[in-house]
Amino acid sequence: MKDKIISLYQQGAKDFTPEDRALFDSFVAGLNQGRIRACEPSDEGWVTNAWVKQGILIGFRMGKLARMPHSSHKEFYDKDTLPEKRFSLSDQVRVVPGGTSARTGCYLAPGVTIMPPAYINIGAWVGSGSLIDSHALVGSCAQIGANVHLSAGAMIGGVLEPIGSRPVVIEDDAFVGGNTGIYEGVMVSKAAVIASGTILTASTPVFDLTQNRFLEMDPHGSYTIPPGAVVVPGSRKSRQNPDFHIYCPIIVKYRDAKTDQGLRLEDELRHIFE
């Protein structure tokens, strides 16, 4: 399939055949089942599968604007190749009523909970036991690990182009606070904590207070938040004018028993009211 997708993408815009559409449908089925991933872990770290992004872009190119029925008896208009994802009881994904939507081609593992309203885009991958809270976004091709907590209003950016760029990756057991924004290929490593209101981008340096230094940019041209790091919003003096301060996320410590206790308490309170 990989070689056929690459070849079809390189042909550029054209009239697609029924065979091309069948290839795309098979590709999307692989995304829905989690067998095909835009980015995946390996012994050498996270590897971006550019051909998967090419396949998704083919879907936009191939599709025609169409009127589609909605489960709540509303209508929406999108490319006919990219309908809303449909769930069944066998998926064992808890989708609470109230306006949540997911695009076909995203994978949600059994045990995921989605609070309304939330949105998960094509190419995204969400691991078992993760919570996607109200008004959270999981962008195209973003990779969310197992037992991740995406709090209300968390924005996980998506990326389709440049083709080779790493999407945002949130590893297992990470906690992402409310009204955060994680964009431009930033990777949040295992068990890290991103405090409410923190914005992480490839162009915003992160300062590690425990090491008294800025994080170095990783080989993907973005930043990797270390495992267990606790990141909060901060600021630094402007070099041009010290009277002004520039936004700067700060690693204030690494996870300890006190941090874990606070996160457990929040989870326990949430389960009481869900």
pLDDT for the residue numbered 181:
98
Confidence of residue 4 (pLDDT cuts 50, 70, 90): very high
Confidence of residue 273 (pLDDT cuts 50, 70, 90): very low
How distant, in Å, are the alpha carbons of 56, 180, 200, 208, 254 from that of 158? 13, 14, 13, 26, 27
- Asked if the structure places residue 45 within a domain, the reply is yes
Confidence of residue 73 (pLDDT cuts 50, 70, 90): low
- Asked if the structure places residue 74 within a domain, the reply is no
- The Cα–Cα gap between 26 and 88 comes to 19
Identify the CATH number of the domain in which residue 177 sits: 2.160.10.10
Mean predicted confidence (pLDDT) in 94-109: 94
User: Is the domain of 53 the same as that of 93?
Assistant: no
Q: What is the pLDDT of residues 126-173, one digit of tens each?
A: 999 999 999 999 999 999 999 999 999 999 998 898 888 999 999 999
User: Is the domain of 143 the same as that of 52?
Assistant: no
User: Is the domain of 227 the same as that of 104?
Assistant: yes
Q: Which position has the token pair 């090491």?
A: 211
- Asked if the structure places residue 163 within a domain, the reply is yes
User: Is the domain of 191 the same as that of 123?
Assistant: yes
pLDDT for the residue numbered 271:
52
Q: Roughly how many angstroms between the first and final C-alpha of the chain, as a whole number? A: 42
- Asked if the structure places residue 69 within a domain, the reply is no
Residue 4, H or E segment:
helix 2-10
User: Is the domain of 233 the same as that of 147?
Assistant: yes
User: Is the domain of 174 the same as that of 230?
Assistant: yes
- Asked if the structure places residue 79 within a domain, the reply is no
pLDDT above 80 for 262: no
DSSP state of 91: G
- Asked if the structure places residue 75 within a domain, the reply is no
- The Cα–Cα gap between 1 and 207 comes to 43
User: Is the domain of 132 the same as that of 209?
Assistant: yes
User: Is the domain of 106 the same as that of 207?
Assistant: yes
pLDDT for the residue numbered 269:
46
Identify the CATH number of the domain in which residue 25 sits: 1.10.166.10
User: Is the domain of 112 the same as that of 55?
Assistant: no
- Asked if the structure places residue 240 within a domain, the reply is yes
Residues 61, 63, 67, 71, CA torsion sign: negative
- The Cα–Cα gap between 55 and 239 comes to 44
- The Cα–Cα gap between 259 and 181 comes to 21
Torsion angle, alpha carbons of 190, 192, 177, 53, to 10: -40
pLDDT for the residue numbered 171:
98
Percent of the chain with pLDDT over 70: 92
pLDDT above 60 for 19: yes
Q: What is the pLDDT of residues 160-209, one digit of tens each?
A: 988 889 999 999 999 999 999 999 999 999 999 999 999 999 999 999 99
Look at the chain and report how many structural domains it folds into.
Answer: 2
- Asked if the structure places residue 68 within a domain, the reply is no
Mean predicted confidence (pLDDT) in 240-264: 85
pLDDT above 90 for 3: yes
User: Is the domain of 103 the same as that of 20?
Assistant: no
DSSP state of 215: P
Q: Is the peptide bond before 117 cis (omega within 30 degrees of 0)?
A: yes
Q: Are 190 and 174 in contact (CB under 8 A)?
A: yes
Specify the pTM: 0.90
Per the structure, the complete domain to which residue 214 belongs is given by 84-273
pLDDT for the residue numbered 259:
67
User: Is the domain of 255 the same as that of 127?
Assistant: yes
User: Is the domain of 232 the same as that of 151?
Assistant: yes
pLDDT for the residue numbered 154:
98
Residue 2, H or E segment:
helix 2-10
* Token pair in block for residue 198: 């923190």
Q: What string of DSSP letters covers 244-268?
A: SEEE--EEEEE--HHHHHHHHHHHH
pLDDT for the residue numbered 268:
52
pLDDT for the residue numbered 85:
92
The CB density around residue 142, as the number of other CB atoms within 10 Å, is 26
Q: What is the pLDDT of residues 25-58, one digit of tens each?
A: 999 999 999 999 999 999 989 999 999 999 999 9
Instruction: Please choose, from the candidates 231, 185, 181, the residue with its C-alpha nearest in 3D space to the C-alpha of residue 206.
Output: 231
Q: What is the mean pLDDT of the chain?
A: 92
